[in-house]
Amino acid sequence: MEKLNVQWINAGEKLISLSETTGAIKYGNFKLSSGKSSGYYFDGRLLTLHPQGLQIVSSVFLPALRTLQADCVAGPTIGADPIIAALVLTSGYSGNGINGLIVRKEVKKHGMSKMIEGELNTGSRVAIVDDTCSTGGSLIKAIEVVEGQGCIVAGVLTILDRNMGGREKITTHGYKFASILRVDANEKIFAADFKSQLFI
């Protein structure tokens, strides 16, 4: 656990540095998808669609998934898509692969009318991932969809927790939650440690 904690903090520091060079973090006055206003904008896709950024994220998310004993990794499209793909790929290198699942925004209107894409078996332990957590709406929806398929949610991992109440909504319902980056009351982004979150 201590090794992962050090890796988690280092990953956060690297992502902050990379965010500055890629423009993934911008400061100003922005309206978020949740409807709330923010003094900064974090574009997680500029990190997860960057080779170094995605490598950093997957390098700490994968051991976290192992800690959670997850069989599958899922998340809301499209923010979670590259993260899921990276974790499916890298988990397979050890011979102990984790299946990936993509949770749609709405039921597919043709074909099999699925809400989840990917192989999902009843009783699987599923970790939910995304690039950000604001009010937690999309993550909670993903949790509900996964549980509606008879699966167990092992925990929730995000790159950034915006400190807008989403973490509290998720943990109040009894789910484990950890983010690589967090935001303080002054809207300053900092590298979070792993141990002080819910994996103690």
Return the minimum-mean-pLDDT range out of 77-81, 112-116, 177-181, 190-194.
112-116
State the pLDDT at residue 195. Answer: 82
Q: How do residues 140-171 score in pLDDT, each as one tens digit?
A: 999 999 999 999 999 999 999 999 999 999 99
Please state the three-class secondary structure of 24-92 as a single string: CEEEEEEECCCCCEEEEEECCHHHHCCHHHHHHHHHHHHHHHHHHCCCEEEEECCCCHHHHHHHHHHHH
Residue 70 and residue 96: Cα distance in Å, rounded?
11
Maximal CA-CA distance, the chain:
48
Q: For residues 159 and 95, which has the higher predicted lDDT (pLDDT)?
A: 159
Residue 122 has pLDDT above 90, yes or no: yes
- pLDDT band of residue 190 (cuts 50, 70, 90) is very high
pTM over 0.85: yes
CA dihedral angle for residue 13, residue 17, residue 22, residue 26, rounded to 10 degrees: 90
Q: How do residues 32-44 score in pLDDT, each as one tens digit?
A: 877 878 889 999 9
Domains of the chain (ranges; CATH) run: 2-191 (3.40.50.2020)
Per-chain mean pLDDT for the chain = 92
